[in-house]
Amino acid sequence: MTGMLRRAFPIAAPLLLTVLSAHVQAQTVTNTPAAAAQPIQRVEITGSNIRRSQAETASPVQTVNRADIEKSGKTTVAELLQTLAVDNQGSVPTTFGNGFAAGASGISLRGLGSASTLVLLNGRRIAPYGLADDGQKVFADLNIIPAEAVERVEILKDGASAIYGSDAIAGVVNVILRKDYVGTTVRLSQGLSNESDGGDTRLAVTHGVGDLETDKYNFLFSAEYGKKREVWNRDRADRGAVGRADLRDFGFSAQEALGGTGAIVANNSAGSSVVGNVRNPLNNNYYSRGSTAAGNGFTRTFPGAACSNFTNHPQGDPGGGCLTDATQQYNQIQPRQETLNLFGRATFQLNNDWQAYVELNGYHSDSDSSSTPSGISGSVGYPGGPVNNANVSLGATHPDNPYFGSAARLRYIAWDVGPRTSAIETNFTRAVAGIRGTAGGWDIDSALLYSQSKTNRQQSGYLQRDVAFALLNPNDAANVASARATSAAYAGLPAGSFWRIGENSGLNSQALYDALSPTLSNDATTSIAVADVKASREFGQLPGGAMGIAMGAEFRHDETELNPTSGTDRGNIIGLGYSAYEGQRNSAALYAEFLAPVHSTLELSAALRYDHFNDVGNSYTPKAGFKWTPVNSFALRGTFARGFRAPSAAENGRGGLAAFSTSDDPVRCALGVTSACASSSVAVITSPNPDLSPEKSKSFSLGAVWDPLPRTSISLDAWQIERKNEINQETTSAAIAAGNVVRDAGSSQFAGDPGAIVAVLTNYINSNSTKVNGIDLDARTSYTMGDAGTLTANVTWTHMLKFERTDLEGNTVDYAGTHGNCDATNCMGTPDNRVNLGLGWERGPLRINGVVNYRGKFDNTLFKDDPDGCAFHFANGDDSPNGCKIGSFTTLDLTAKYRFTSKAELFATIQNVFDKEPPLDPLTYGAAGYNPLDYSGALGRYFQVGMRYTF
């Protein structure tokens, strides 16, 4: 057990085990004479369609109610869920502003990825976000949930495909909104960081009218507006490694530390520089255009290109490059996002037995993100294909070419064009119309649902390859003809126009920039249409009571379409790969569930679901569970379940995905081409596979619930999930071994040399399997101190024992407690301990709460016992950082609320009270210098104040 846990439990244990009064969130129902006179209320719990009188089932369910959300100080449901211990690597933070799924936020239970966690709204599905994570993983955007309308969130922490169908492999997050509120509430809050940036403005209005018993109707409406301002890496330059690409100050060598800074890292290898690095045509060595050193071979000098004219970044590149940290200058910790969330519900009491209801959701989001300017890259592209990592030279007569008369290979970061930006607009709608009631002893609920998500993405700052080629070498007739054919803006420029770089970029016209870097756009649309009906009832008698049965049917139509970004279908946008997919699916399901109280102390449950998909066939999914309660205060519970995830349209539809990877070339290496024996950049083009099978899973849980005192509850659960037939991209090495490559014959060095690999052609395949297991602890209590008030305490702890992945060749590695393979973890690592500890005090109108969030340390290796050792090293050879450990990260959040009257209250929050900086993480790609899991440390101490008034 970690040091943090040893410190945390002595604080919580006295409260958790010595309580003598009212239980907060009690999990045991205590009958009293007064209660006995009331009819037993039966409710439906996430993970079961059978209504029951007790909230505890065989499955572990974590409930987060409105009070918990307020105590956390988080302003959105997404922010709250991603701090919970049960969330792990593979989640999609909103801070991924430059990722495939920018503008959205997703949760990943058990670290199995957002695509394997089913998100429901009032027990029904929502249309997924249109931009798939990593171009493959389709998930539900948590941002569409209106926080002020939430009644509670129920998190089912084991497999539930037998109840809900596809995607519920790791569990279910069911967000339950208010149903019959009466009154009007206005909530206004404003947040600001300790650095006076990152402002977060929130305004919410909730109004409800009508009493179902007397008026026979209720109308509920909630509107919530939010505006979150951006936070730049450059404004956190004093927070350790946050936002930095240049890590020399932290002990790294120049070659490791200077990636992305314009450094010349080897004689024939250079980054993109603000003044331009050019290769001497005679010796193939790179030199900075701002260099005055002897031996660079320049045929003319450029005194105006001096590095000091462009940057005040610390220099010292051993290769003589002009250094700048574009990541720190142009990238963001937090993108700007503006949202509007609308929710309405109308409920009509038709008679004593039946209700009709309508739900309407609307969500609008605008977000902007920024990243480093585009670079002129020197890798050979995939000719005529959807990926191009452009190879470009300054023409022999280009006025900024220091080797006048000879073409010279160029590495240049287009700072004069500006940063690459992305503006994303999302519109989400959801409509449900249903009827529920009782007939013949059956509780019946049936509804029609339609939900749609539409996303438009506008991108700027990217370079058109053919136009860039033509403007840097206008004497090449083929380049000019290609640019004229694809760009009307270029065709309108004067003949022979040059793109002037570095110190001469001020000579360029706006018309030239419009041709070089036009605004790009693409659209994504997803929709689902569902008709469902379910019914449950009690029947018969067993020694433990009446049996329960539920059955239902569901019909669903899904549509998904992502159009490619303009130009990427021709490989014409430097640094932007092709991504597109399209597909439709019809599915139908029948399901049944059975509950048998075989004894007064033993309850057995079973469920079976049959799903039919028109493209991937049938799936039969069972689940079984038990709950044994030998005494009222103690219960043992356990489940076994199978699950599945049907392929998404990105995986088995129409389209494809192009990205970049690295690989050696065993064919050329065997022929004696030394450079082919080392890894180099290659384009990887992945095509959907219509023959994919669904992913399959088995899950187990076994645990205990103990209420040692009336207001204390402790649960401990062991769990395991095995997932097989996982859908992954075929490995680059396997595709190369099979000969599925495109080669550049022009790079052949001798007869029989086939030329360098420029593209690897792969498919999505059913391949790996994963087994993940661990332990969950959930304990909560309250203690009344008379006039001194009430103390509350709760702790949730998830400990991951194993995260094993086995490939097609039978090789198994364990990622638990390591940084992990980036394909498995979104490069955020797999910490084996996550803890949330809450302590609160309430007296009269005042309430104060503190929440400790802990993320455990993990090894900076790709997997346990990696024979290659640490993933990074310092310049002196030591393992990096901290002896090859990404340090643990702990923050404290405080909230306070004061109720002036029964209608008015004031609240305040301080997040990251002690202003903790995040530990250095040199491996992750989701952020610069720190792990995205530690976002609050990058942002720093954050304040929020607000008020709520009820009319």
**What are residue 873's DSSP bridge partners?**
879
CA distance 320 to 306: 12
CA distance 318 to 334: 34
Structure-token pair, residue 446: 């049936």
**What are residue 43's DSSP bridge partners?**
52
Query: For the residues 665-673, what does the mean pLDDT come to?
Result: 89
SS3 103: coil
**pLDDT tens readout for residues 842-882:** 999 999 999 999 999 999 999 999 998 998 889 888 998 99
Q: Based on C-alpha coordinates, what's the Rg of the chain?
A: 30
CA distance 466 to 902: 67
Q: Are 861 and 819 in contact (CB under 8 A)?
A: yes
CA distance 507 to 471: 13
Residue with tokens 């498995």: 824
Q: Are 711 and 22 in contact (CB under 8 A)?
A: yes
**pLDDT tens readout for residues 542-582:** 999 999 999 999 999 999 999 999 888 888 888 888 889 99
pLDDT at 41 over 70: no
Q: What is the predicted pLDDT for the residue at 759?
A: 84
**What are residue 278's DSSP bridge partners?**
287, 410
Local confidence band at 20 (pLDDT 50, 70, 90 cut-offs):
very low
SS3 194: coil
Helices (H), 151-306: 161-164, 254-257
* Pairing between β-strand 117-121 and β-strand 217-228 as defined by DSSP bridges: unpaired
CA distance 630 to 627: 10
Lowest mean pLDDT among 39-48, 405-414, 453-462: 39-48
Structure-token pair, residue 192: 């600001």
pLDDT at 473 over 70: yes
**pLDDT tens readout for residues 911-941:** 999 999 999 998 888 889 999 889 999 999 9
Q: What is the predicted pLDDT for the residue at 28?
A: 36
Local confidence band at 391 (pLDDT 50, 70, 90 cut-offs):
low
Half-sphere exposure of 722 (CA within 13 A, CB side): 6
CA distance 449 to 432: 4
Segments making up each domain of the chain, as ranges: 3-166+179-233+340-368+428-457+524-651+694-725+768-950, 464-516, 654-687+729-741+751-766
Closest CA to 81 of 169, 161, 175, 199: 175
User: Higher-confidence residue: 52 or 289?
Assistant: 289
User: Higher-confidence residue: 654 or 28?
Assistant: 654
Q: Are 112 and 826 in contact (CB under 8 A)?
A: no
**pLDDT tens readout for residues 744-772:** 777 777 888 888 888 889 999 999 999 99
Class of residue 188 by CB neighbours under 10 A (exposed 0-12, middle 13-18, buried 19+):
middle
Amino acid in position 333? I
Query: For the residues 38-59, what does the mean pLDDT come to?
Result: 70
User: Higher-confidence residue: 587 or 569?
Assistant: 587
- Residue 402 vs residues 263, 286, 322, 399, 541: alpha-carbon distances, Å: 18, 12, 16, 8, 93
Phi/psi at 555 (nearest 5 deg)? -125, 130
CA distance 558 to 14: 52
Q: Are 938 and 890 in contact (CB under 8 A)?
A: no
- In 10 A of CB 606, how many CB atoms? 16
SS3 470: helix
Q: What is the predicted pLDDT for the residue at 43?
A: 60
Local confidence band at 55 (pLDDT 50, 70, 90 cut-offs):
low
CA distance 764 to 601: 49
Could you please state the CATH topology (level 3) that the domain comprising 3-166+179-233+340-368+428-457+524-651+694-725+768-950 is classified under.
Maltoporin; Chain A (2.40.170)
Amino acid in position 141? D
pLDDT at 318 over 60: yes
Interior/surface letters 773-808, b for 16+ CB within 10 angstroms, e for the rest: bbebbbbbbbbeeeeebbbbbbbbbbbbbbbbbbee
User: Higher-confidence residue: 35 or 496?
Assistant: 496
**What are residue 667's DSSP bridge partners?**
none
User: Higher-confidence residue: 174 or 15?
Assistant: 174
Structure-token pair, residue 99: 């990722």
Q: What is the predicted pLDDT for the residue at 292?
A: 74
**pLDDT tens readout for residues 602-653:** 999 999 999 999 999 999 999 999 999 999 999 999 999 999 999 999 999 9
**What are residue 744's DSSP bridge partners?**
756
- In 10 A of CB 285, how many CB atoms? 17
Q: What is the predicted pLDDT for the residue at 334?
A: 93
Local confidence band at 676 (pLDDT 50, 70, 90 cut-offs):
confident
Q: Specify the DSSP element, H or E, that contains 479.
A: helix 477-486
Lowest mean pLDDT among 144-148, 519-523, 620-624: 144-148
Phi/psi at 16 (nearest 5 deg)? -75, -25
Tally helices (H) and strands (E) across the chain.
Answer: 16, 45
**Alpha carbon of residue 835 to chain centroid:** 20
Structure-token pair, residue 13: 């244990």
Residue with tokens 């409800």: 208
Phi/psi at 79 (nearest 5 deg)? -60, -40
Class of residue 934 by CB neighbours under 10 A (exposed 0-12, middle 13-18, buried 19+):
buried
* Pairing between β-strand 269-270 and β-strand 264-266 as defined by DSSP bridges: antiparallel
Local confidence band at 522 (pLDDT 50, 70, 90 cut-offs):
very high
Structure-token pair, residue 146: 């209106």
CA distance 793 to 507: 66
Query: For the residues 148-155, what does the mean pLDDT come to?
Result: 91
pLDDT at 780 over 50: yes
User: Higher-confidence residue: 266 or 148?
Assistant: 148
CA distance 699 to 804: 15
Cis peptide before 922 (omega within 30 of 0): no
CA distance 237 to 235: 6
pLDDT at 288 over 80: yes
Q: Are 80 and 74 in contact (CB under 8 A)?
A: yes
Q: What is the predicted pLDDT for the residue at 8?
A: 38
